[in-house]
Structure 1
Amino acid sequence: MSPGTPHTPGTPHRDPLPLRGRTALVTGASRRAGIGWAIARRLVAYGAGVYLHHHVPHDAAKPWGADPGGPGALAAGLRPLAADGAAVAHGPADLTAPGAPARLVEAAAEALGGRLDILVANHALSGEDGPLDEIDADMLDAHWAVNTRSTVLLVQAYARRRQAAREGGRVVMMTSGQDRGGGMPGELAYALSKGALASVTRSLATALAPRGVTVNTVNPGPVDTGYLTGEEHAAVAAMFPGGRWGQPDDPARLVAWLVTDEAAWITGQVIDSEGGFTR
C-alpha cells in the first residue's frame, strides 16, 4: 500500500480472543481490589500472556494492606482464564531504583517467551503527599521517581526491544484528574508527577510510531479500590451522575480495548474514563 492510499477495512467481526498470541506487562498489579489486577484479568481473558508486577511493601504500609495470599495467589487466580497455553507470571520490582524498570521489562519478556507486545504502566506511589504549604523536596522526589521517571524508563526499555517495526505494539500509561475541575490541590506531588505523563503522551506516541507502537494515557477518575470509607466515600459517590464510584473493571475495559487491533488508529491521546464525575 503506497503512502496516502486509503485503508479498506475487511468485514467487521469480533474476535473472542483479540490478544491471542500477544504478551503484556502490567505494573502495579498486586491487589484484587486494584485497577492493575482488573486490567490483567481482562488481558488474560482476551488471550494475552501476562506478567504481573508487584511491590508488596508499598501496599503493606498502607491502610488497605497487602493482598491476602500474596502475588502468587493473584497469578494463580488468573491462570484458569488463560487460553491456548498463554503464560501468567509475576515478579517484584522496586521501581524507585534507576535500573529497575529495564530489569523488569527483561524479566517479563523472558517469562513470556522472549517477546513483549504490550506495556501497561499502572503503578503509582500513593500518599506521602500534601498541599503547597506541606510538600517538601523529598515528597516531590519520591513521587517523581515512582510515578514519572520509572514510567518513562519502562517505556524506553520496552521500545528498545522493538527496534524492528511491527504491528501490535501498545503502551498505556495511567494519569489522574489533575487537569480537571479544581485540580488536586491537596496532593500536589502526585498531581505534578501524573500531569507530566499526560503532557509527554503525544511526544512518546510520535517517538514510538515508527516502531509500530501506539501510546495512550487513561485517566480513570475516582475508582473504589478501598482507600476511602464512610462519609468521605459517600461524598465522592455523590459527585458521579450515576451515584456510584468507578469500579476497577471500568477503566480496565477501556485499557483492554486500547491494546487490541480495534484501537490501532488511536495514539497520543489522554482519555478520561470517569463516568461523568464532577468535582
Structure 2
Amino acid sequence: MTLAGRTAVVTGVSRRRGIGFAIARRLLAAGVRVCAQGWSPHDAEMGLGSGGETASPEFRAELGGTEETFSHSELDLAEPEAPAELLRRAAERFGSVDTLVLAHARSSDFDLDALSATELDLCWAVNVRSSLLLVREFARRYREDGNGGRVVLFTSGQHLAPMSGEIPYAATKGALHQLTPTLSDALVERGITVNCVNPGPTDTGWATEELTSSVGRALPRGRWNTPEEAAGAVELLLDERAATVTGQVLDAEAGFRRWVR
C-alpha cells in the first residue's frame, strides 16, 4: 500500500482489542502520522476497560507511534465542540490532515421496551452528530496536496438484518450508512472520497461465550473477524489505487450467515 506521508485523524482509539486501535497501529506501520481520539469512560461504562491506559508509554509503544508520528486525545464526542477541537489539535501538531477515519461509536443494547429519549439523544450525538461535525471540520481545513483526501465511516449490519436488541445503535449506524453517498457528493469536487465500512462480526472482547460460539458457527471460517481485518479494509480505501471509489458501503463480513443457530 502507498500510504506513507499521509496524516490521519482516527477516532475510537482506546482499548487494545478495539478496531480503532488496530487501524491506528496499521496506519502508523505504513508511515502515516496519526492523531487519535478515544474516550475511556465509555469503555469503563461498558465494562471493557478501566480508563487511563491511553496515556501510558506502553500504549504508544504497542501502537508503534513516536513523538513525531503519534498523538492521542481523550475527548468526549458527545460534546458539541469536541469535533472542532480534535481537528484543531491535529492541525496544531501535524499541520495539514488528509485522512479521517471515524471508528468511534457509542454502543447501546437498548431494546424497544428499554428505549429512552436520553439514550436516543446520546447515541445520536456521539454516532451521527459528531461524525458530521468531524467531516465538516475536516473539509474546512483540507487542502489538496496531490494525494487526495479520504474519509472512512463505520456502519454495522443493520441494513442486512434486524438488530432489535440494539435499537439506538442500529438507528444511528443506519444513518451513517445512508449519509455516505450524500457526503461523497458534497466533497467529491474537493478531491475527497467518502466511503463506509461494515466490518461484520468482529471480536473486540465484548461478546458473551454463548454469542461468540453461535456467531462463530455462522461464519464460514468458524471464527469472528478480527480488528486487524477491519483495519485492512480501511487501508484498502485509503490507498491511492482507490481514488475512484467513493460513496460506497463495503460489507467486509466474511460470508456471515445470520440465520445459522
TM bucket (normalised to shorter chain) is: over 0.9
- Opposite residue 62 of structure 2, the aligned amino acid is G
Change (3 A) 1:58 1:257: same
For structure 1, which runs of at least 5 residues remain unmatched after alignment? Answer: 1-14
Q: CA deviation at 1:205?
A: 0.5
- Opposite residue 224 of structure 1, the aligned amino acid is D
Aligned match of 1:214:
193
Aligned match of 1:254:
233
Alignment pair present for 1:88 and 2:70: yes
Aligned match of 1:105:
87
> Does the 8 Å CA contact 1:54/1:71 hold for their aligned counterparts?
no
Q: CA deviation at 1:133?
A: 2.5
- Opposite residue 104 of structure 1, the aligned amino acid is L
> Does the 8 Å CA contact 1:102/1:154 hold for their aligned counterparts?
yes
Question: Which is helix-richer, 1 or 2?
Answer: 2
Give the Cα–Cα distance (whole angstroms) in 1 for the partners of residues 69 and 145 of structure 2.
Answer: 24
Q: Given the two structures, how large is their TM-score scaled by the length of structure 2? A: 0.93
Question: Which structure has the larger Rg?
Answer: 1
Alignment pair present for 1:30 and 2:14: yes
Match 2:62 to one of 77, 98, 104: 77
> Does the 8 Å CA contact 1:55/1:92 hold for their aligned counterparts?
yes
Equivalent residue of 2:196, what SS? strand
Equivalent residue of 1:91, what SS? strand
Q: CA deviation at 1:166?
A: 4.9
Q: Given the two structures, how large is their TM-score scaled by the length of structure 1? A: 0.87
Cα-to-partner distance string for 1:29-59 (whole Å, 9 max, x where unaligned): 1011000011111111111001111111111
Aligned match of 2:167:
188
Q: Indicate the RMSD between aligned Cα atoms, in angstroms.
A: 1.8
For structure 2, which runs of at least 5 residues remain unmatched after alignment? Answer: none
- Opposite residue 35 of structure 2, the aligned amino acid is Y
Match 1:59 to one of 6, 25, 43: 43
Give the Cα–Cα distance (whole angstroms) in 2 for the partners of residues 69 and 131 of structure 1.
Answer: 31
> Does the 8 Å CA contact 2:21/2:63 hold for their aligned counterparts?
no
Give the Cα–Cα distance (whole angstroms) in 2 for the partners of residues 200 and 156 of structure 1.
Answer: 13
Equivalent residue of 1:52, what SS? strand
Equivalent residue of 2:142, what SS? coil
Give the Cα–Cα distance (whole angstroms) in 1 for the partners of residues 76 and 192 of structure 2.
Answer: 26
Change (3 A) 1:275 1:66: farther
Q: CA deviation at 1:244?
A: 0.4
